């Protein structure tokens, strides 16, 4: 019995908790991608760099606050700095829309032109982030490290396996729940939210009903910028801030959005957790887990790892391909792309 409990704790510690946190970050990112896809109808390749851009401002504001002695210990200062990052990301999103995307929207350019344009925006943001803060790893987390420590957990339960919950992980999950609830309430109840859903569903019908396209697009960018910054900051607190990793997050984020059904907000959230759990379960080494649960004679010699962690991108890709073959609309019947 104790072995089983130990095994459960072990899995929670190394699979469930990290995957929940990572999944939340992906869900927030995928929500942004899916919103832009639903409203503006293109896959925004600049989203990863938008995340890096917003987070960069959070990092710089955090440093400034740390220097000025501002702190909300035990919570990380970055939370206090978050509004600055959000403001910057929203501002730059609206600016690029005004300067770049609006022209193609008015011309009714095909979706692929938008995608190529977003690659141009990606280059710009990428360069700006590297020029301002550099390409290296930056740490900006402070405050308490853990909500639950391994040692305390062991002492409290008497098990030999411990469970740790980092503050950043707890924070990620809590913030994600709050943000997702707020966003869904907004989309379901508010006038603008309803207009956005109507516009995403059927543009012509929405326009005929008096929905203002400029307002819908404005809100879509503002929300995407906000979500991108929150997702980027939480990811940075949980792991670390490095511009290139944010670019690489693009793939799992797209996978999450497509698995759930692109253009579908609930799908994006579910997709985020699906991708995260698949990635973590496939790259976890089950050796210790099997030692607990399997009979003595079955003890594995190797690590019992299906894929080494370097191949985690393969997981996103395989999920993409499977969805594409089995159910191209995604789980929640989003748009077919």
Partner 1 sequence: MREVPRAPLCFAVMAGLLMLVGFGQSWSLALSIFNLCLISAVMALGLNMQWGYAGLFNVGVMGFAALGGVAAVLVSAPPVAEAWRVAWSDLLAAALALLASVAAIVAARRGIPPGGLRMAVTAFLLLVGYGAVRVFFDPAVEAIEAVDPAKTGFLGGLGLPVILAWPIGGAVAAGAAWLIAKVALGLRADYLAIATLGIAEIVLAILKNEDWLTRGVKNVTGLDRPTPYEVDLRDSAGFQDFAAGFGLDAGEASTIVVKLCYTGLFLAVLVLILVLAQKALHSPWGRMMRAVRDNEVAAEAMGKDVTRRHLEIFVIGAAVIGMAGAMLTTLDGQFTPGSYQPLRFTFLVWVMVIVGGSGNNWGAVLGGFFVWFVWIEAEPVGAWAMDVATAMLGEGSSLREHLLAGAPYMRVCVMGLILLLVLRFSPRGLIPDAVHRRAGH
Binding site for partner 1 (CB under 8 A): 42-43, 45, 100, 103, 111-113, 115-117, 119-128, 130-132, 134-135, 247-248, 250-251, 254-255, 258, 302, 308, 310-311, 313-314, 316-317, 320-321, 324-326, 328, 336-337
Shortest CA distance to 29 belongs to which of 237, 207, 271?
271
The position carrying tokens 């000025």 is 68
Nearer to partner 1, 33 or 90 (CB): 33
Nearer to partner 1, 190 or 309 (CB): 309
Least Å from the CB of residue 275 to partner 1: 12
Count of CA atoms in the C-beta half-sphere (13 A) of 320: 14
Q: Please, are residues 170 and 147 in contact by the beta-carbon 8 Å criterion?
A: yes
Strands of 134-268 (E only): list them: 146-148, 165-166
Least Å from the CB of residue 191 to partner 1: 31
Least Å from the CB of residue 170 to partner 1: 30
Nearer to partner 1, 47 or 166 (CB): 47
Nearer to partner 1, 186 or 311 (CB): 311
Least Å from the CB of residue 103 to partner 1: 6
Least Å from the CB of residue 139 to partner 1: 18
Q: Please, are residues 292 and 228 in contact by the beta-carbon 8 Å criterion?
A: no
Least Å from the CB of residue 151 to partner 1: 35
**Residues found in the chain:** 337
Q: From the centroid of its chain, how far is CA 103?
A: 29
Nearer to partner 1, 79 or 111 (CB): 111
Least Å from the CB of residue 26 to partner 1: 14
Rounded Cα distance between 230 and 179, Å, is 9
Nearer to partner 1, 166 or 312 (CB): 312
Nearer to partner 1, 42 or 153 (CB): 42
Write out the two tokens for 65. Answer: 């606050």
Rounded Cα distance between 319 and 252, Å, is 10
Shortest CA distance to 259 belongs to which of 181, 184, 183, 329?
329
Shortest CA distance to 51 belongs to which of 247, 228, 183?
228
């Amino acid at each position: 019995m104790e072995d089983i409990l130990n095994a459960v704790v072990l899995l929670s510690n190394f699979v469930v908790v990290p995957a929940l946190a990572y999944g939340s970050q992906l869900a927030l990112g995928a929500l942004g991608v899916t919103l832009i896809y639903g409203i503006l109808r293109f896959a925004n390749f600049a989203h990863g760099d938008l995340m890096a851009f917003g987070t960069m401002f959070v990092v710089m504001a955090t440093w400034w606050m740390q220097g000025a002695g501002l702190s909300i210990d035990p919570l990380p200062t970055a939370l206090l700095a978050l509004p600055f990052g959000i403001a910057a990301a929203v501002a730059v999103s609206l600016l690029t829309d005004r300067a770049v995307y609006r022209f193609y929207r008015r011309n009714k350019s095909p979706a692929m032109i938008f995608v190529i344009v977003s690659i141009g925006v990606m280059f710009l943001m990428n360069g700006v982030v590297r020029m301002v803060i550099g390409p290296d790893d930056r740490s900006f987390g402070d405050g308490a490290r853990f909500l639950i420590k391994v040692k305390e957990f062991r002492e409290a339960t008497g098990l030999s396996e411990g469970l740790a919950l980092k503050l950043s992980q707890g924070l990620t999950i809590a913030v994600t729940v709050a943000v997702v609830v707020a966003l869904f309430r907004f989309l379901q109840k508010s006038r603008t939210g309803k207009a956005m859903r109507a516009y995403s569903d059927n543009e012509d019908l929405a326009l005929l009903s008096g929905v203002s396209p400029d307002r819908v697009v404005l809100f879509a960018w503002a929300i995407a910028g906000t979500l991108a910054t929150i997702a980027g900051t939480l990811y940075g607190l949980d792991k670390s801030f490095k511009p290139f990793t944010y670019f690489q997050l693009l793939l799992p984020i797209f996978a999450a959005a497509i698995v759930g059904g692109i253009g579908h907000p609930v799908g994006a959230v579910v997709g985020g957790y699906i991708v995260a759990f698949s990635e973590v379960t496939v790259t976890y080494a089950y050796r210790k887990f099997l030692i607990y649960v399997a009979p003595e004679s079955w003890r594995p010699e190797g690590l019992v790892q299906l894929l080494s962690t370097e191949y985690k991108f393969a997981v996103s890709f395989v999920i993409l391909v499977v969805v594409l073959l089995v159910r191209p609309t995604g789980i929640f019947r989003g748009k077919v792309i």
